[in-house]
Amino acid sequence: MKVTLCGTGTPLPDPNRAGPATLVEAGTTTLMVDAGRGALMRLVAAGVLPLGLDAVLLTHLHSDHICSLNDVVSMHWTMSSEPTPLKVYGPVRTKEMADGLLAMLGPDISFRLAHHDDLTWEPIVEVVEVLAGDHFEVGEAAIMVGRTNHAPVEPSVAFRVEHEGVVAVLGGDGVPCDELDELCDGADAYVQTVMREDLVRLVPSERFLDILDYHSTVQDAARTAARAGVAQLVLTHYIPSLPAGQEDEWRALAAEHFEGEIVVGDDLTVVEF
């Protein structure tokens, strides 16, 4: 299995980090988990075209995790030679979001249909709304859905992706909870959004300080990884944005609580296992 961090940034624009997005290649199956700012550019940089995606998995519907889904939908459509559905799995209200996305693209869709004689169909987005405990398969990947605690964002989910006995867990946002521990149990890699509480508290903004109660700290993620007995902890979606040269500092905070391998990567960092 191969995991590529397609976007490790925050909702705040960063010239060096795209928004949250992770590519998972499980055998011949290719999945994108979340689709934050610039996700499609990073996807192509990782060597995958939109038509190469077997599905998009969404952990939750915060704008920073979905704001490039329209780009994925548009290019998946216009690069297709025949009607080709894009499968999107996400929590309750994903269908509502996707319907709104297609409505927003309405003018563009009509313009392209009018211009291209060989383009005779509209984008096909097949949404499957998932619940904690669901199991499904996409190609060669067996996927389990787990609840996460990102309240008041309800519901939010994480995904456990398995192929030939190898497991990656995509944790999304949220604070530690029993359900996440269970989902991570024995995983080969656990990919988790992380926050530095000490740095966030330096910012004199009530709105920014509000994020403290619904994101895992680096230490939280490490303790989750230790409890679940995972092999590798992969940090991503760094809050605040991780400046170059501080990777060892973030890694050291995790290493206080987790003895396994810790990956602190830039966009397009690859983990294979």
Selection from 51, 16, 12, 58 nearest residue 35 by Cα: 58
Taking only the tens place, the pLDDT of each residue in 164-188 is 999 999 999 999 999 999 999 999 9
Provide mean pLDDT across the span 57-81.
98
For 93-106, letters b (16+ CB in 10 Å) and e give ebeebbeebbeebe
Query: Helices (H), strands (E): how many in the chain?
Result: 10, 14
Q: Return the pLDDT at 107.
A: 98
Provide mean pLDDT across the span 68-85.
98
Provide mean pLDDT across the span 122-142.
98
Q: Which two tokens stand for residue 260?
A: 């396994």
Provide mean pLDDT across the span 28-40.
98
Q: Return the pLDDT at 22.
A: 98
Provide mean pLDDT across the span 227-253.
97
Reported as a pLDDT band with limits 50, 70 and 90, residue 55 is: very high
Q: Return the pLDDT at 195.
A: 97
Q: Return the pLDDT at 137.
A: 98
Residue 235 CA: distances (Å) to CA of 6, 48, 163:
12, 22, 22
Q: Return the pLDDT at 259.
A: 98
Selection from 257, 175, 263 nearest residue 223 by Cα: 257
> How many whole angstroms separate alpha carbon 49 and alpha carbon 109?
20
Helix axes 247-255, 218-228, angle to 10 degrees: 50
Question: Omega before 204 cis (within 30°)?
Answer: no
List beta partners, residue 90: 129
Task: Report whether 17 contacts 266 (CB < 8 A).
Answer: yes
Q: Return the pLDDT at 169.
A: 98
Q: Return the pLDDT at 91.
A: 98
Reported as a pLDDT band with limits 50, 70 and 90, residue 67 is: very high
Indicate the helix (H) or strand (E) that contains 219: helix 218-228
Q: Return the pLDDT at 101.
A: 98
Q: Return the pLDDT at 117.
A: 96
Q: Return the pLDDT at 3.
A: 98
Q: How many CB atoms lie within 10 A of CB 5?
A: 26
- Cα 121–chain centre separation: 29
Reported as a pLDDT band with limits 50, 70 and 90, residue 154 is: very high
Please say if 64 is a catalytic residue: yes
Sign of CA dihedral 158, 55, 238, 269: positive
Q: Rounded mean pLDDT of the chain?
A: 97
| Catalytic residue (one of 34, 64, 173, 267) | 64
